[in-house]
């Protein structure tokens, strides 16, 4: 357990403060997401139902919460970055829909409810994932080009942010990591290969969540480097924790099946190092993430506790 509930004066801060802030940011995200994809009286209305079924099924919303939390730390108006936060959650949700398909992880449950293909069929689930990915970029670009929206960042920096997200989701990011993960099933791989998979498959979108505000508002290099280090550490930590939860987690808490990695012959931190060593690796990553934020002083309280939350989560 990592204790970081104190400020720079050594005064204790309650975990309740973290929870209140997380719930506040979570509600802002959910409220925004609920207005983006609306059902229409049209022949293709089923796709909107399928998109919203997975998008609004709940979840931690870690990626958009991270983006909003970094923005708040940097004194950025949250409404200015909300389109990017929502887009990241749409991209993440599309990846979950596709991950759950029979050709991939073949899961029946996600977030405690039936997976998309179990409700709408495989073909519609594939299209719902495709649609969420496309709509994420439609939404960002529409908001970027909307002159009625208040923006204190330039069009060029907005395009850079969209490009960063595209690369994080693409063949040099999440998709690339997923491909290597599939190719590695049933094979012995090195630690370097395992970290490559995790840093791309899971870490790339988490890193984008942290770095987009820095890109939009041209943060100075020292602070940008600190956020790079933080995002890299929590991105890998998140996947190490996932490996641990897959080995010892509870379906009722996770909302999905456990033991899938072992049954499919996947290499994980747990399979390579065991549970106790994996926990030690996780703690080192979280400590590094916390240390990386010292440059931001007291304003980094929430992000430091968010790192600890990643390590301690049950789902």
Return the CATH number at 31.
1.10.600.10
If you average pLDDT over every residue of the chain, what do you get?
90
Instruction: Kindly tell me if the per-residue pLDDT of 14 is higher than 70.
Output: no
In whole angstroms, give the CA distance from residue 199 to residue 172. Answer: 11
Residue 286 lies in a domain: yes
Q: How confident is the model at residue 6 (pLDDT cuts 50, 70, 90)?
A: very low
Residue 202 corresponds to which tokens in the numbers above? 């899971």
Instruction: Kindly tell me if the per-residue pLDDT of 264 is higher than 80.
Output: no
Based on its alpha-carbon atoms, the radius of gyration of the chain, rounded to whole angstroms, reads: 19
Instruction: Kindly tell me if the per-residue pLDDT of 259 is higher than 60.
Output: no
Q: Percent of the chain, pLDDT > 70?
A: 90
Q: What is the model's pLDDT at position 267?
A: 85
Tell me which of 14-18, 164-168, 178-182, 284-288 is least confident.
14-18
In whole angstroms, give the CA distance from residue 171 to residue 44. Answer: 29
Mean pLDDT across 144-161: 95
Q: What is the model's pLDDT at position 134?
A: 98
Cβ 208 vs Cβ 220: under 8 Å: no
Q: Which of 210, 264, 261, 265 is nearest to 239 (CA)?
A: 261
Mean pLDDT across 207-223: 96
In whole angstroms, give the CA distance from residue 169 to residue 177. Answer: 10
Query: Can you tell me whether residue 264 is helix, strand or coil?
Result: coil
DSSP state letter for 100: T
Q: How confident is the model at residue 42 (pLDDT cuts 50, 70, 90)?
A: confident
Mean pLDDT across 176-200: 92
- The angle formed by the CA atoms of residues 257, 250 and 307, to the nearest 5 degrees, is 100
Residue 6 lies in a domain: no
Give 80 or 256, the one with higher predicted confidence: 80
Residue 2 lies in a domain: no
How far, in whole angstroms, is CA 2 from its chain's centroid?
21
Residue 9 lies in a domain: no
Instruction: Kindly tell me if the per-residue pLDDT of 34 is higher than 60.
Output: yes
Residue 162 lies in a domain: yes
Q: How confident is the model at residue 255 (pLDDT cuts 50, 70, 90)?
A: low
Q: How confident is the model at residue 211 (pLDDT cuts 50, 70, 90)?
A: very high
Number of H helices, E strands in the chain: 15, 2
Instruction: Kindly tell me if the per-residue pLDDT of 168 is higher than 70.
Output: yes
Q: What is the model's pLDDT at position 3?
A: 43
Residue 288 corresponds to which tokens in the numbers above? 């590094």
For residue 182, give its domain range: 15-312
Residue 277 corresponds to which tokens in the numbers above? 């060593």
Residue 10 lies in a domain: no
Mean pLDDT across 243-250: 82
In whole angstroms, give the CA distance from residue 17 to residue 151. Answer: 30
Q: What is the model's pLDDT at position 249?
A: 64
Q: Read off the pLDDT of residues 55-102 as tens digits, 9 standing for 90 and up.
A: 999 999 999 999 999 999 999 999 999 999 999 999 999 999 999 999
In whole angstroms, give the CA distance from residue 261 to residue 253. Answer: 18
Mean pLDDT across 302-308: 94
Q: What is the model's pLDDT at position 7?
A: 44
Give 120 or 258, the one with higher predicted confidence: 120
Residue 107 lies in a domain: yes
Q: Which of 67, 218, 63, 220 is nearest to 152 (CA)?
A: 218
Q: Could you tell me which residues are beta bridge partners of residue 84?
A: none
Residue 202 lies in a domain: yes
Number of compact structural domains in the chain: 1
Mean pLDDT across 227-244: 95
Instruction: Kindly tell me if the per-residue pLDDT of 254 is higher than 70.
Output: no
């Amino acid at each position: 357990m990592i204790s970081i509930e104190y400020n720079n004066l050594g005064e204790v801060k309650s975990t309740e403060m973290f929870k209140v802030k997380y719930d506040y940011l979570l509600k802002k995200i959910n409220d925004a997401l609920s207005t983006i994809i609306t059902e229409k009286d049209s022949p293709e209305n089923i796709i909107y139902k399928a998109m919203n079924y997975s998008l609004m099924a709940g979840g931690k919303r870690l990626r958009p919460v991270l983006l909003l939390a970094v923005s708040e730390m940097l004194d950025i108006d949250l409404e200015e970055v909300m389109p990017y936060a929502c887009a990241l959650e749409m991209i993440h949700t599309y990846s979950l829909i596709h991950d759950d398909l029979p050709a991939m992880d073949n899961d029946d449950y996600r977030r405690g409810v039936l997976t998309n293909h179990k409700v709408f069929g495989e073909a519609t689930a594939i299209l719902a994932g495709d649609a969420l990915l496309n709509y994420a970029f439609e939404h960002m670009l529409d908001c970027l080009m909307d002159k009625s929206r208040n923006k204190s960042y330039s069009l060029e920096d907005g395009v850079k942010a969209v490009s960063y997200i595209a690369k994080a989701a693409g063949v040099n990011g999440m998709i690339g990591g997923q491909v290597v993960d599939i190719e590695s099933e049933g094979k012995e791989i090195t630690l370097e290969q395992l970290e490559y998979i995790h840093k791309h498959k899971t870490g790339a979108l988490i890193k984008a969540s942290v770095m987009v505000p820095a890109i939009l508002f041209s943060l100075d290099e020292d602070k940008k480097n600190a956020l790079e280090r933080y995002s890299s550490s929590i991105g890998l930590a998140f996947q190490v924790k996932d490996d641990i939860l897959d080995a010892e987690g509870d379906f009722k808490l996770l909302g999905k099946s456990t033991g899938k990695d072992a049954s499919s012959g996947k290499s994980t931190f747990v399979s390579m190092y065991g549970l106790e060593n994996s926990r030690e690796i996780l703690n080192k990553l979280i400590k590094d993430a916390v240390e990386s934020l010292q440059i931001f002083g007291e304003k980094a309280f929430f992000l430091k506790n968010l790192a600890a939350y990643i390590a301690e989560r049950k789902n």
